[in-house]
Structure 1
Amino acid sequence: MSTVSERLDELGITLPAVAAPVAAYVPAVRTGNQVWTSGQLPFIDGALGTTGRVGAEVTAEEAADLARTAALNALAAVDALVGVDKITRVLKIVGFVASAEGFTGQPTVVNGASNLMGEIFGEAGAHARSAVGVAELPLAAPVEIELIVEVSD
């Protein structure tokens, strides 16, 4: 069985640099055999390429791609703290979607993050999840993703 790093290489995925916090928090913390990330925005090279609410300025398809990007940022936070190869299971994803009035496709948007975990971790990527619609997110981001993973010693 390949390591997580090897699987990322097979998929042609390079983890980004850890996004700098935009307030008073750290990107990830470990307690016991779990790592919890702070909410990660879809930063690319330190900037949001897209802003706005899903169902208005941003399509659900664009937002699903942004959720994938935010999930990669969450994995980068785990990697910086303990190393991505220590991840043994994805436990939970929490996805926040800045939603226009009447938009109800939050689960489809957060699938961008969930599907990525399946691609990388296979069965160990199957996880519990919440997909929540909100009025606004920090910096007018369309999505924010939190990740909880189990890690080995």
Structure 2
Amino acid sequence: MTNLPPITVSTVDLERLYRVLDDAPESVYATAVALENELARAQVVDPEDMPPDVVTMRSIVRFQIIPGGREFELTLCYPDEMDNNPHKVSVLAPVGAAILGLSAGQEIDWPAPGGGQVKVVVLGVTWQPERAGMIRL
């Protein structure tokens, strides 16, 4: 991954995500390593200082995957919050790790699940817990 865009993560998300990484199963090793690398380079801010257009944990985000150009609107979740809801994506899924910390309009090249690379473009943050006063561990 070259030309990485800047990312922003809240102190609350950072703390919990490091705990998630400690417990990550072997089956998501590659994504966990990529996520850990992203966290290491992130600008870290207090939740109340989070810009409203940044993808945080539990945000609802609109994004596009190229090639294909298909658009999605999903909630970025911790692994233990995943259920059968098709409108959620785990931060330990490749696209979930890719969008964390990006702002609307940013894009990142990211490893595709079957190999190769895809470009993930954040179109907007529909809802963010920091703005709704719903920050919780």
Normalising by structure 2, we get a TM-score of 0.29
Please say which structure displays the higher CA radius of gyration: 1
Kindly indicate whether structure 1 or structure 2 has the higher relative contact order, using CA contacts under 8 Å at least 6 residues apart.
Answer: 1
More helix by share: 1
